[in-house]
Structure 1
Amino acid sequence: MKAPLPSNEEARLKALREYKILDTDPEQAFDDLTRLASQICETPIAVVSLVDSDRQWFKSKLGLDASETSRDVAFCAHTILQSDLFVVPDAQQDMRFSDNPLVTSGPQIRFYAGAPLLTSEDVAVGSLCAIDYVPRNLTPQQQEALEILGRQVVTQLKLRRNIAELEATLRQRQETEQALRASQEQYRSLLDLSSETIAVHVAGKLEYINAAGARLFGAVTPDQLIGKQLLDFVHPDSRAAVATRQNQVQVNQAIAINQEKLIRLDSQVIDVEMTEVPIIHSGQPATQVMIRDITALKQMKEAMLRATVAELAKQELEKEIIGRRQLEESLKEQ
């Protein structure tokens, strides 16, 4: 007799497939429980059966060659309708199974006992069953042991799923971290190639500076500057303003471009434009500083200003000389 479908069949199949265990290779944890069931129940056959939509598939089996059978003839299709142990003492004498091909021909099942594999939501995804070729029954102790082993099968299913989910999460995290590292390396390559100075500091301590920054401060390599305090390179006239801006950036305040004076390693004073923005560096709040050397530009502007002032002074002097000459000539004519 074909077993009816459980009332929760849709939810049951969904729960089964969430374990992602169908058609997987044998695993020692399940094989150990199957062997224990066979030994405790003293049966030649024991199986961990998972009931799919149209078949029962054996995750673990002892004493059987088949890896699956049709659900229509599966004893376990009846077991999943129960919440307790399902026992058939003699299948030939049970009208539900007397004409079942598994009884009338190979493997000629006579005795069957199955513990439903119930999830935490009381959904039966399969059974742990003990099978014999002769009619018989189980002692109360054997029945209890089979139910306990059935619960252990469910525990293994959950453990297996949790491990798979954890491994998937770890793989995803590793892929994300790898992509992030690649992105960071690409970004750092762009920073290293920049002609402008770009530095990163955490609470004022330099964590990164590009090659252009090393040249700006008179260092041979950026490593000479890593770990030093940015304020150590700021001219005393600019130190208070720069320190104030560092505090503002730490609370995510916008900072406009500012002109300051810095001191190189060779003690040369340079004029720069500085822009600071808050960022996250190595998982902690930091500040990215962009510095442009305007010393030459400022010197050129100052030289142009001096030249302009000198030209204006020259023009005024020439006007004054011309005026005096005109006055002298006017006096002579009188």
Structure 2
Amino acid sequence: MNTALPKNEAQKIETLSQYKILETLPEQMFDDFTRLAAQICKTPIALVTLINHNQQWFQSNFGGAVTQSDREIAFCTYTILQPEGLVVADALADERFATNPMVISEPHIRFYAGVPLITSQGYVLGTLCIMDYVPRELHYEQLEALRALSRQAIARVELQQDLANLEHAKQESQQLEQKLRNRELELLDLLENGPSSLHCVDGNGIIIWANQAELDFLGYSREEYIGQHIAKFHADQAGIDDILQRLAANETLCNYEARLLCKDGSIRYVQINSNVLWENGKFSHTRCFTHDITARKLAEEAVQQAATKNQYLARAVAAVSDGVTITDPNQPDNPIIYLNPAFSKVTGYQPEEVIGRNCRFLQGAGTDPHTIAHIRQAIAERREVKATLLNYRKDGSAFWNELKISPVFSDEGDLLYFVGTQTDISDRKRAEEERDRFFTLSLDMQCIADFDGYFKRLNPAFEKTLGFTPIELKSQPLIDFVHPEDRERTLAEVAKLSTGEPT
């Protein structure tokens, strides 16, 4: 028996799955409908069926013995295609069902009438149907009663689904509320026990809350701090007045520097980041983070004092012909914080172009990466380093830089600065290159010897004239290559050279 499928079959199957009633135990509410349908129509069997891909399930079975059947042989497969219902007075006389196993064998069904269970969205989930073992007719009133019962049955199904959805939504809402409460607790714990100092002040300047980091930072107990006016803990009255005025004007404070009074009488320098929470246009409270910058401020003051005391030294550094830079290794990327005029003269860069930058901007395509690695290693190890490297001026021209970098430590051993001196040795390098070229191309025998009496360097003419290889010449004392009659006079001349006397 082949029947067509509803056009919205896929949506119907999905809806049936969402209702979660397929393959569940029979429910009392359906039994009431099947019992009433059997009584109204005076039939021995009444069913509520639900139909999925290939099965027909009897969710309520009044008078019958089975709980399911194949969709292929189900009368209801035709019923779901007819919105007004299906009536089969005599199944043996109907060619659609005459050979149906349910007709020609147990339970020998001869009469069938059914109406579809149609949801409010228009999906047919199954049927409400009646059956008899003998042919019979169904009155119009009885068919209308079946239709009414089917509408009530599907209404109960949808009501049950709505209640289930509400319960599910309620559970989800409760779970979400619990998650939100947990998040709030986590946030409160982070604010209360986090490392950053934080306090809140109301519109009158009264501290209404502070976390433990704030209390520990200033040394006050919660009772000593909460409920007090914030001005009580500021060392500068004008400063706190300015802060409160700006916040009241809805200004956000970023890195505002101030001085706070600790319980032990000491003063701490801080940066303040704060804004106001406004509720219905009214000042509720501030959210104020304070960051301790005392160490930095004290270091700045010490540098300023040292600069004042050593102004003559500073003038001397500014007057030297070699470039001098000072970098701060305690800041990110070890930036330049000072350069003398000679540095600008050598490189072409002005102070405003250099301050705050790492010295690597002088490097270029010809800078030896091995030399750079050597310098970086020394800086990482906080030790002095000397190197000669090719650097580049602002105009792109190259120059040879004889560089020396020295660390500066405090009395306590803390690294404060690196001082670098840069000497432009380009002229010397060119002279050395010219000397080396002359040494190599000269037809005269030329050599460089050490005071230990051995050759250190020989030009090609020396090797060609004597006929020895460079290895042979460097492996023996130079006096071995002097004629025996000339050795005494040669040694005397060498002795003069060792004392700086010309020969």
Fold conserved between structures, TM > 0.5: yes
Aligned to 2:366: none
Say if 1:233 and 1:262, in contact at 8 Å, map to a contact too: no
In the superposition, relative to structure 1, how do residues 44 and 163 fare at CA in structure 2: closer, same or farther (>3 Å)? same
In the superposition, relative to structure 1, how do residues 150 and 201 fare at CA in structure 2: closer, same or farther (>3 Å)? farther
* More helix, by proportion: 1
Aligned to 1:158: 158
Aligned to 2:59: 59
Tell which deviates more after alignment, 82-91 or 67-76.
Answer: 82-91
Aligned to 1:85: 85
- Superposition deviation, residue 216 in structure 1: 5.5
Aligned to 2:129: 129
SS in 2 for 1:22: coil
- Give the Cα–Cα distance (whole angstroms) in 1 for the partners of residues 208 and 60 of structure 2: 57
Does the alignment pair 1:289 with 2:288? yes
Give the aligned CA root-mean-square deviation in angstroms: 4.3
Gaps of 5+ in 1: 313-334
SS in 2 for 1:143: helix
In the superposition, relative to structure 1, how do residues 215 and 40 fare at CA in structure 2: closer, same or farther (>3 Å)? farther
- Superposition deviation, residue 74 in structure 1: 0.5
Deviations 1:142-191 (A, max 9, x none): 22221112112222333333334444444444444444444443343333
- Superposition deviation, residue 117 in structure 1: 1.4
For 1:245, which of 244, 247, 250 is the aligned residue? Answer: 247
Say if 1:231 and 1:242, in contact at 8 Å, map to a contact too: no
Aligned to 1:257: 255
In the superposition, relative to structure 1, how do residues 116 and 208 fare at CA in structure 2: closer, same or farther (>3 Å)? farther
- Superposition deviation, residue 72 in structure 1: 1.2
Say if 2:201 and 2:230, in contact at 8 Å, map to a contact too: no
Deviations 1:188-212 (A, max 9, x none): 3333333432245787887753222
Say if 1:214 and 1:222, in contact at 8 Å, map to a contact too: no
- Superposition deviation, residue 97 in structure 1: 1.8
- Superposition deviation, residue 135 in structure 1: 2.9
Gaps of 5+ in 2: 311-503
- Give the Cα–Cα distance (whole angstroms) in 1 for the partners of residues 13 and 128 of structure 2: 17
- Give the Cα–Cα distance (whole angstroms) in 2 for the partners of residues 121 and 15 of structure 1: 10
Aligned to 2:43: 43
Q: Tell me which of the two structures has the higher relative contact order, counting C-alpha pairs closer than 8 angstroms and 6 or more residues apart.
A: 1
- Give the Cα–Cα distance (whole angstroms) in 2 for the partners of residues 160 and 138 of structure 1: 31
Q: TM-score, normalised to structure 1's length?
A: 0.70
Letter in 1 for 2:246: T
Greater gyration radius = 2
SS in 2 for 1:273: strand
Aligned to 2:196: 196
Aligned to 1:144: 144
SS in 1 for 2:254: coil
Aligned to 1:31: 31
Q: TM-score, normalised to structure 2's length?
A: 0.49
- Give the Cα–Cα distance (whole angstroms) in 2 for the partners of residues 161 and 311 of structure 1: 86
- Give the Cα–Cα distance (whole angstroms) in 1 for the partners of residues 206 and 133 of structure 2: 79
- Give the Cα–Cα distance (whole angstroms) in 1 for the partners of residues 231 and 165 of structure 2: 50
- Give the Cα–Cα distance (whole angstroms) in 2 for the partners of residues 214 and 276 of structure 1: 18
Say if 2:247 and 2:275, in contact at 8 Å, map to a contact too: no
Kindly tell me the number of residue pairs found equivalent between the two proteins. Answer: 302
- Give the Cα–Cα distance (whole angstroms) in 1 for the partners of residues 15 and 305 of structure 2: 86
Letter in 1 for 2:247: R
Aligned to 2:96: 96
